[in-house]
Chain A
Amino acid sequence: MSRQQQEHVSNPSRRNFLKFAGITGGGLVLGVSLNGCSSSTPLPYSSKDAWQPDAFLQMTSDGQVKFFLPQAEMGQGVTHGLTTLVAEELNMPPSDIDVTVAGVHKDYDVPGAGMQVTGGSASMRTRYEGVRQSAAKMRSLIVQAAAQQWNLPAADLVLLDGKVSHGDRVAEVSEFVATAVALPIPEQVTLKDEKDFRWIGKSNQPRVDAIAKVTGTAEFGIDVEIPNLKRAALLRCPVIGGSVKSFNSNGAEKALGVHQVLSIYNGVAVLADHYWQAKKALESIQVEWDYPETLSAHSSADIYQAMGEALSEDGENAFEQGDVAQAFSQADKTLSARYQAPFLAHATMEPMNCVVHLQGDRAEVWAPTQAPGLAQQIASEHSGLDRDNIQVHTPFLGGGFGRRAFHDFVAETTAIAKATGVPVQLVWSREDDMQNDYYRPAAMAEFEAGVDDSGLLNSWRVKRSGPNIMPYMIDEALGMLLPEAVPQSISEWLSKRGYGVFDSWQIDPASVEGLHEDYKVANKRVDHVTVDPGLRCGYWRSVGHSFSGFFVESFMDEVALKTSQDPLEFRLRHMDDNPRLKNVLQLAAKQAGWGQPKPGRFLGLAAVKSFESYVAEVAEISVENNQIKVHKVTCAVDCGRVVNPDIVRTQMESGINYGLTATLFGDITIENGAVKESNFNDYPILRMSEAPEIDVILVDSKEPPTGVGEPGLPPIAPAVANAVFAATGQRLRSLPLKLA
């Protein structure tokens, strides 16, 4: 039996979500082991009373199907999405499958990624085949077992809703589990024919996590409760990366419920019985900080000035095709424009939090994380325990958007747990969360286009300046990327070299993605200049596309209008190599009534391919009292085969609204290294009265499915900016959009 506990997210018998703490893989022990796996490494969650052909699926002796979900649920619907695949192949309702979030194990690594991570809108794209194969094998083995027991050809038997039948003869699958265990697991089995699909591609399916999420019973990280848990709050340096020189607790340790006041590597923590006691006690503590030199020397104005100046440097070449210089000299007309996007916070609805329980040479960590293996690594670095002795539980995430791919909150909690020797929950305040993010990197870009006498682009040159994400990811993940034999001190030293070393020899793909790919132009060149003030950056929903989509699609509009072409027609003329993007653009434009806006309303459009999905959006806006009001967004998406139409629609809506916050409000500003914004009063989030009506068109496709968590976002900012130009004649080249 594996030492890993199970984190149940869905239990069909109760139609409820269980607390995962305390539920173990044990239970009824039969005389015969049903874990038929002959491999030497035991599968995670293997149990004597359950048959487990692989790491993903288990069938208990009473016929209950259990699915070990290898991805984190942060709202994007992966729990329902992947469970749908299992349900389809096993020909049973998704709601009858018991879903458990898997712990850390190499079998759960994302194919091709080398680690267990939820990001890059990759879950459906990378798991579609594998999860279906896994479930199809289970189906095939159960049917074979029944065929053997009944002495009938397998082809004559039907598996339906947990029962095997042959004419009038019907039996529960549980009758065949013991026989199935002994059968060899086939290499490859035939998947269900799409004409027989009952769940894939069908609308009006309630998500398997819906009941828990409307009744307050869904368990998020912040809700984790274990015996003797103490709560902590942490006072950090106003500039990220600072440390404590000295502090005066001013008697905070004597406050009601407070156990201890202690300093850790980045701040002063209060440990108390209850969160509010810890949080309140923090107020009296005075700290003298050691400020980080680089970041403390910067404020927003000088950062953007440096990024602007950098655009006149040569930079590193990221992409080149044809001869741009020559094409420019032959162009009929050349145009240029410079765009800017700010740092942004993720502002997940659930602030960062974590529970760590160190128990001698082993530990348990409850972390709302997008990468449990990294959480394990970070907890190992800060506890000194072996990675393999740390068990990570992943509850529901109250939003992720890339923030929870970084684990500073796990590091802090582990440090406090180690220093105090008790199980600890650390909860961040909203202010902590806003001011200690891994921010969407700010970016600036200079575009130049050459247009020939037929109005076609003959050249496309772009240079981007700004910070990169990769050095900060290297900092986080190096310990995991290096072999375990490399001592921690060496990996730490190496990771601190990341910034300089990385930036001078590599181009971070996330810094330049989306700057040239979507349109057919014979001569293209993309260059990059790194300008990094030292504010840590991370993956923010749609990553580089979050700014490059705005830049490219605004510039395309400018070029079209300045060469007297319709923005839709102009784009279509450059999309012959990109038929799927062309198709969604045409669909969205048609549905939105492109060219015939309602009186007082103005339209803007944009189309972006990101994460292998194709999305076009048309924004319908008005400008009243110098305020931009987005009334309606028409969105067309081609994400290959649509597994869950409802979820694709909701993810488009979600990406659009998340993107609208960035379009209209989002701006993280820096003063002497400190983030100024602190809560939703100065970092406003789109509210209901500001949210548009959204109409989503799904392309019916048989291409392999691709992700939808991020691709809805990139087109929205440029669609709105282009509509603002139509309405006012003002070309707003900087986010958030501010009318003059």
Chain B
Amino acid sequence: MISFRLNGETVSTDVPSDTPLLWVIREHFQLTGSKFGCGKGLCGACTMHFNGNAIRTCVMPVAAVADGEVTTIEGVGQPDQLHIVQQAWIKHNVPQCGYCQSGQIMSAVALLEQNPNPSDEDIDNFMSGNICRCGTYSRIKQAIHSAADAKHSGVVLFDPQQVQGGAA
């Protein structure tokens, strides 16, 4: 039996200890926001946080997170309570197909926690493990800068309760 904290709650599982965390989270705990892209740690679609660090969970055996703290996209924000990074993503129209975006956001959140004022180069370095086949990179970069600024100023970047635009 392996126990860990998942989005703030203690959970345990008896799956074989070499099962990749990604599949445990997706199929056993039914949190499907984290995606499968390559299975080899090459694309970042499966990114979650383990003790605050962005990790590729498709190559992380579940045993490795025992007693640790795992956060998934579901633990970062909710549709009616968006994290500032998620707000920035919407404001900058980042998602296209959206498949890579949970992983992108998890990486971006981890980056800003470690480096609240990243330069373009910092962002490039930190985010280059996350592939986006739809090519949303320049918007991701802008969104990360916006989120960093908003974090300092406390500005809301997107409020889902507000009907957007379109003056009659």
Contacts and interface: CB of A to CB of B under 8 A. Distances in A.
B100 interface: yes
B97 A216 contact: no
Contacts of B37: 349-351, 430
A206 B79 CA distance: 14
Contact of A399 (B80, B86, B99, B127): B99
Contacts of A400: 97
A214 B90 contact: yes
Interface residues of A, number: 77
B166 A198 contact: yes
A688 B123 contact: yes
Contacts of B146: none
Nearest to B121: A689
Contacts of B78: 215
Interface string A1-41: 00000000000001110000000000000000000000000
B98 A687 contact: no
B134 interface: yes
A93 interface: yes
Given A681-B42, A688-B137, A206 B91 contact: yes
A647 B137 CA distance: 15
Given A212-B79, A680-B38, A693-B138, A687 B86 contact: no
Contacts of B135: 653-658, 660, 686, 691
Contacts of B38: 430, 679-680
Interface in B15-36: 15-16, 19-20, 23, 27-28, 30-36
A213 B137 contact: no
B54 interface: no
B72 to A, nearest CB: 7
B137 A210 contact: no
**Which of B134, B139, B163, B168 has the most A CB atoms < 10 Å from its CB?**
B134
A256 B19 CA distance: 12
Contact of B134 (A14, A75, A91): A75
Contact of A93 (B77, B128, B164): B164
A204 B123 CA distance: 24
Interface stretch (A220-228, A235-243, A376-384, A556-564): A220-228
Contact of A351 (B36, B73, B95): B36
A167 to B, nearest CB: 16
A209 B39 contact: no
A214 B99 contact: no
A366 to B, nearest CB: 13
B160 interface: yes
Contact of A653 (B82, B101, B124, B138): B138
A217 B137 CA distance: 21
A365 to B, nearest CB: 19
Dominant secondary structure of chain A at its interface with chain B: loop
Contacts of A231: 27
A349 B97 contact: yes
B59 to A, nearest CB: 12
Contacts of A680: 38, 40, 42-43, 131
A650 B93 contact: yes
B133 A348 contact: yes
Contact of B79 (A160, A161, A211, A222): A211
Interface in A640-658: 646-647, 650, 653-658
Interface in B43-64: 43, 45
A202 interface: yes
A457 to B, nearest CB: 34
Contacts of B77: 214-215
A650 B139 contact: yes
A139 to B, nearest CB: 14
B84 to A, nearest CB: 11
Contacts of A679: 38-40, 42
B96 to A, nearest CB: 3
A397 interface: yes
A498 interface: no
B148 interface: no
A427 B58 CA distance: 14
B34 to A, nearest CB: 7
B64 to A, nearest CB: 15
**Which of B19, B45, B133 has the most A CB atoms < 10 Å from its CB?**
B133
A198 B168 contact: yes
A247 interface: no
Given A211-B79, A685-B131, A691 B164 contact: no
A205 interface: yes
B141 interface: yes
A692 B135 CA distance: 10
A76 interface: yes
Given A202-B166, A275-B23, A688-B137, A398 B43 contact: no
Given A212-B79, A214-B82, A680-B43, A398 B32 contact: no
Contacts of A198: 165-168
Contacts of A95: 163-164
A260 interface: no
A216 B32 contact: yes
Given A15-B79, A223-B32, A687 B99 contact: no
Contact of A209 (B15, B20, B86, B98): B98
A276 B96 contact: no
A17 to B, nearest CB: 8
**Which of A348, A349, A396, A430 has the most B CB atoms < 10 Å from its CB?**
A349
B113 interface: no
A582 interface: no
Contacts of B166: 93, 198-199, 202, 205
A270 interface: no
B120 to A, nearest CB: 10
Contacts of A218: 98
Given A658-B135, A694-B138, A76 B96 contact: yes
A77 interface: yes
Given A202-B166, A256-B16, A680-B42, A217 B79 contact: yes
Contacts of B73: 215-216
Interface in B114-168: 123-125, 127-128, 130-141, 158, 160, 163-168
B37 to A, nearest CB: 6
Contacts of A692: 138
B40 A654 contact: no
B141 A398 contact: no
Contacts of A160: 168
Interface string B93-112: 11111111110010000000
B89 interface: yes
Given A198-B168, A215-B86, A650 B102 contact: no
Interface in A219-266: 219-220, 222-223, 225, 231, 256
9 contacts: A95-B163, A213-B95, A347-B133, A398-B35, A399-B97, A429-B39, A646-B93, A685-B43, A687-B128
Interface of B: 15-16, 19-20, 23, 27-28, 30-40, 42-43, 45, 72-74, 77-80, 82, 86, 89-91, 93-102, 105, 123-125, 127-128, 130-141, 158, 160, 163-168
Given A214-B89, A653-B136, 16 more contacts: A15-B160, A75-B95, A161-B168, A202-B165, A202-B166, A256-B16, A275-B27, A349-B43, A349-B133, A398-B98, A430-B37, A653-B135, A654-B135, A654-B136, A680-B43, A693-B138
Give the top 10 A-B pairs by smallest Cβ distance, nearest first.
Answer: A216-B33, A657-B135, A75-B97, A398-B99, A213-B98, A75-B96, A216-B73, A213-B95, A691-B137, A689-B124
